[in-house]
Amino acid sequence: MNIYMRQFSFAGILAVAVVCAFAIAAAPLRAAAHGPHQPDVYDMGTLQPVATVPLLHKGDAAPDFELPATDGTKVRLSSFRGSKNVVISFVPAAFTPVCSDQWPGYNIARELFHRHDAVLLGISADNTPSQHAWIQQMGGLWFPVLSDFWPHGATAAAYGVLRPEGVSERAIFVVDKQGRIAAAIISDINKRPDLGLIIDALKDLP
């Protein structure tokens, strides 16, 4: 009886050890599958892909704005007129999965923007402290991130991309050196937009 109990105990301990080892080994795989930042982001779920009606079109004057950046400066769109093409990237919210994937992806494309004499401006309706913390979490960004927090979403509204729930569409506007809209790309808010669409728009600029 004692021998049986010892054998049973050993088998039970071995089974527990195998299960624990499997769980430990599987944890990094689960983390990798969900991305490095997933524990720190808020999943908004699936939203209506586009909730606004296009307001600006190719050839329209781009509405000017001046917004605070996370480095403490203010950035005015018209300051680039005559010298730089401008790519404006509106995203819905900090610390959300698609946004946290989209903007870091532009880090590897920095040279492509420079090649087309373009600057990139990121805009969300989050306040500046939240944006600052989010940028640190993402490992840093090479382009300025601007806060459209107050008046809330005013710049997004001027571009026709402020959704009823108070966040912007996932939208890209390419503004040429004359300050006119060269391309307006409103994407499904649930998906990361194709970088190739931006590059194609920049290639079409004179």
- 20 assigned to some structural domain: yes
* DSSP one-letter code for 69: B
Q: Please indicate, yes or no, if residue 47 is contained in any of the structural domains.
A: no
Please state, in angstroms and rounded to a whole number, the distance separating the CA atoms of residues 133 and 138: 9
Higher pLDDT, 92 or 9: 92
**Predicted local distance difference test score (pLDDT) of residue 189:** 98
- Residue 189 belongs to some domain of the structure: yes
Please tell me the total count of domains within the chain.
Answer: 2
Residue 15 clears pLDDT 70, i.e. is over it:
no
Residue 41, domain member (yes or no): no
Q: Give the CA diameter of the chain.
A: 92
Residues classed as catalytic:
99
pLDDT at 38: 56
Residue 199: inside a domain: yes
The answer to whether position 178 is within a domain reads yes
pTM for the full model?
0.81
Q: Are residues 26 and 110 in the same domain?
A: no
Spatial distance between the Cα atoms of 166 and 157, rounded to a whole number of angstroms = 10
Say if residue 3's pLDDT is above 80.
no
Question: Residue 179 pLDDT > 50, yes or no?
Answer: yes
Are 169 and 92 members of one domain? yes
Give the domain extent around 161: 66-203
Residues 84 and 169 in one domain: yes
Residue 29 lies inside a defined structural domain of this protein: yes
In a domain, 61, yes or no: no
Which CATH number do you get for residue 198?
3.40.30.10
Average pLDDT over all residues of the chain: 85
- The mean pLDDT value for 89-115 works out to 96
